[in-house]
Structure 1
């Protein structure tokens, strides 16, 4: 990468998804280090957090694609470089079946907040640390609201531009997008 190139966290592909918000964060630096507010209620996002998590990922790791029917999410990359992909599966949403891809840099802090019903995943180019918040705690959603699909299914319309990422066993064996939709339909999500 050209070091004179401006590093800017931004949406790089897809459409502007309904109720998804990328918030630029102000990092206040001085001789001691820096201070950055990473969440404010007054932003007016969909998220009312109940659980915060710090996550470390190695280079070439892909996490997702995850889907939840009960909680909103927040993602803030603190260190590193990643792609974050979303696919709107919300019935009746004005952007249903549309996708968006964001590129985030720890050097340009931003928070991505998205509502329930967004299929989501993230790929890390470099060793990275991110903060994640959800509006429902893992002990409440982990067993019955932690759906998945294959990260590279062409039906997602997410141009990751990557090959052979490091996946969890669950991600490596995830069904297609249509398989996920069939499972959610069976459970009554799309009825």
Structure 2
């Protein structure tokens, strides 16, 4: 696997290195040793799938509060997404900055999201399927979010004719931290 640092400390874009032959390819998507060599000591406690029926669906920006803060490895198994993370760690040199990457089966990229960062994405295609490896179990009482269009973050989301956002995600407040 190839680990590419993002502009946010501790967050990585991960590219599998496929090995091809006449049958197709084989690639590793998780190796505890390689992740640890890049400062990622993440136990996988839960895996999630998110199916998205249409282009323009925006999910996020979500995180879990301490002591249930979670790390994630996000990949797109079908379709394509514009994946965004925002650094909400007050002591971080990149506090309130964001990074974005396109994830799709075609590019094979994954995004490692460290604890203390909010995560969200917008679908770029119909029928996008997103997979998450999670370091913590979901705890409803710890679920938090910030507004997708909060001016404090300055995120430029891809333009779409119709953006679809849940009522919960629309109700998140601006970030005051």
TM over 0.5: yes
1:52 paired to 2:47: yes
Q: What residue number does 1:135 align with?
A: 135
Which whole-Å CA distance do the structure 2 matches of 1:60 and 1:67 have between them? Answer: 21
1:144 paired residue among 116, 128, 141: 141
Which whole-Å CA distance do the structure 2 matches of 1:32 and 1:125 have between them? Answer: 30
1:36 paired residue among 27, 38, 45: 27
Secondary structure, aligned partner of 1:156: coil
Q: What residue number does 2:64 align with?
A: 68
Unmatched 5+ stretches in structure 2: none
TM-score (norm 1): 0.77
Which whole-Å CA distance do the structure 1 matches of 2:111 and 2:41 have between them? Answer: 11
Q: What residue number does 2:110 align with?
A: 111
1:25 paired residue among 16, 22, 37: 16
1:155 shift after superposition = 1.6
Contact 2:56 2:122 in 1 (8 A): yes
1:64 shift after superposition = 0.6
1:61 shift after superposition = 0.9
Secondary structure, aligned partner of 2:152: helix
1:173 paired residue among 165, 171, 174: 171
Q: What residue number does 2:95 align with?
A: 96
Which whole-Å CA distance do the structure 2 matches of 1:129 and 1:73 have between them? Answer: 16
1:55-86 alpha-carbon deviations (Å, 9 max, x no partner): 22122111111022321111011221111111
Which whole-Å CA distance do the structure 1 matches of 2:60 and 2:129 have between them? Answer: 16
1:94 shift after superposition = 2.3
Which whole-Å CA distance do the structure 1 matches of 2:104 and 2:15 have between them? Answer: 11
Q: What residue number does 1:154 align with?
A: 151
Contact 1:46 1:72 in 2 (8 A): no
**CA-atom RMSD in angstroms:** 2.1
Secondary structure, aligned partner of 2:165: coil
Contact 2:32 2:41 in 1 (8 A): no
1:94-143 alpha-carbon deviations (Å, 9 max, x no partner): 221221111222201011112111011111111211210111112xx2x2
| Structure with the higher helix share, 1 or 2 | 1
